[in-house]
Amino acid sequence: MPQYKKVRFIGHAINTGCRKLKDGTWDYVGLDEPRRDVAARLKVVEEALKLAHDKAKTDDETTLRVFVMPEFFFRGKVGAYMMGRPEIDDLIDGLQGLVKDPKWRHWFCVFGSAVGMSVPDKGKFEGYNYTLCQAGGFGDAKGAGPKAAHAVVKEHMSGIDFIHDASKVGDEQWLRGRYGVLADQIEHLKPANATGSEVQQRSYGGECIFEHYDLTWGVEICLDHLVRRIKKSTGAPAINLQVVPSCGASLEKDSVVVRKGYAFNCDGLNNSGFPSARGNAHTLLWSMKDGKVNPIKKPEAVLPLSMDVSNIFADGPGELHVYAPLPLP
């Protein structure tokens, strides 16, 4: 494993929330055909990665680049992709294919989150919200992509994760548009972890603490951070890098466990951190020393994306927030 001396955080600030319709109701944004929807979103990731690579290509081999996207980047027209269908393989294979080449060797990507669903015997949809955390530059060897990856599954479903039926929430106008599953139709996947430890025993285990590049990572998706998932873990090691992809949540001091290192949030819904100049999204980076917060107030560069994404995102393609390299403790 490389021994890194510095880390550079890059966040894709893009609104991944629902779209408000003219009648005041809300709808998911996406293409009718799921495989085309996944392909269109992968194109956005490809363009964002190109921009990020061009900006960071002068970094030396002692700098780890950490690329993060918001929660719900992948969810499609109905609010979730059906598990067991080709679009799920397209998604994972596509993301891994984007960063397999040697030029991505010093990159680690937290690819927002993807929402899946299945229909168990009990009738309701069962929902899955997970992020693929992927080291780059692994090449073409069979199984190399999964070996360089970690999957983290979100444990808690927030009240805004799915659109609600307006008839069941009073005067709030949450009613879906023509398509989509509603919150009361989804039963969130229950945690399989029975030990209380969030340390991954296998790379696709779903727990939120793992080792990669001789660093200990803690990845919490949105509400999991707010309810202190890592902090409540039994026997958790010291975390070097805490990463929070979200859609409606920022870093919370009581939830950050890093003593010496960094906490980074890429949010797809509000402007409570460093605000995006184009759209309702933000990034937030804290340098942590002995548990004390030192906010990194602004990125080194803000790079707008320029592509038409009106059929898959509510508020444009967003922009990259590229932070200057920082020393690893």
Question: With the C-alpha atoms ordered 132, 134, 140, 142, is the resulting torsion angle positive or negative?
Answer: negative
Q: Name the nearest CA neighbour of 19 among 128, 157, 180, 142.
A: 180
Segment 166-211, tens digit of pLDDT: 666 554 444 555 568 888 888 887 766 656 789 888 777 788 999 9
**pLDDT band with cut points at 50, 70 and 90 for residue 81:** very high
CB 113 within 8 A of CB 41: no
Dist. CA 187–CA 190, nearest whole Å: 9
| Class of CATH domain 6-327 | alpha beta
Two structure tokens written together for 18: 């629902």
Dist. CA 88–CA 108, nearest whole Å: 21
Segment 263-294, tens digit of pLDDT: 999 999 987 666 665 667 899 999 999 989 99
Least reliable range by pLDDT among 16-25, 70-79, 128-137: 16-25
Segment 203-230, tens digit of pLDDT: 777 889 999 999 999 999 999 999 999 9
pLDDT value, residue 194: 58
